[in-house]
Amino acid sequence: MKRALLTLVAASFALPALAEGGAVSPTVFLAAIFAMACFVGYYVVWSVTPALHTPLMAVTNAISSVIIVGALVAAATVGLNSDNWTSKILGTVAVALASVNIFGGFLVTQRMLAMYKKKGD
C-alpha cells in the first residue's frame, strides 16, 4: 500500500511537469488527476478504523455542502449569456439536488448516532 501511495505522489508531481510542456491534452491531464484522487480517497477512507466511520460521514456531508455554492453560481448566470434559461434551470436543479444531499446526509448521520445512545438518555 505504501508503494502504491508513493507511486501516486510521484505521478502527481510528474503530471504538472508534462502539462507545462504541452505534450498532454488537458482532458487527459484532468482525467489523470481524477483517477489519482479516486485512488487516494479510496486508500484514505479504507484506512479509517470502524469507530470513526460516523464522524467521517458527518464531516463528508459538511464538506459536500460546498457543492451548493457552485450550484448557486450556475443558477445566477450573470454575464454574456444572461438570457440563457437552460443554465438557470440546470442551476436550480443542482441547488435542489445539493440541498437533498446535505439534509439527507445529516439526517442519516443523526440516525446513526441515535443508535449508539443508551435507552435512558
Task: Clarify whether residues 56 and 20 are in a common domain.
Answer: no
| Residue span of the structural domain in which 41 resides | 1-47
Task: Clarify whether residues 120 and 79 are in a common domain.
Answer: yes
Task: Clarify whether residues 43 and 59 are in a common domain.
Answer: no
What pLDDT is recorded for position 1?
60
Q: What is the pLDDT of residues 73-112, one digit of tens each?
A: 777 766 555 667 777 788 788 888 888 888 888 888 788 7
pLDDT, mean over the chain: 75
Task: Clarify whether residues 28 and 80 are in a common domain.
Answer: no
Query: What's the domain count of the chain?
Result: 2
Task: Clarify whether residues 71 and 103 are in a common domain.
Answer: yes
Task: Clarify whether residues 114 and 66 are in a common domain.
Answer: yes
Q: Running DSSP on this structure, what letter comes out for residue 79?
A: S
Say which residue, 48 or 18, is predicted with more confidence. 48
For the cut 70, the answer to whether the pLDDT of residue 5 exceeds it is no
Q: What is the DSSP string of 18-65?
A: HHHTT-S-HHHHHHHHHHHHHHHHHHHHHTS-GGGHHHHHHHHHHHHT
Task: Clarify whether residues 16 and 42 are in a common domain.
Answer: yes
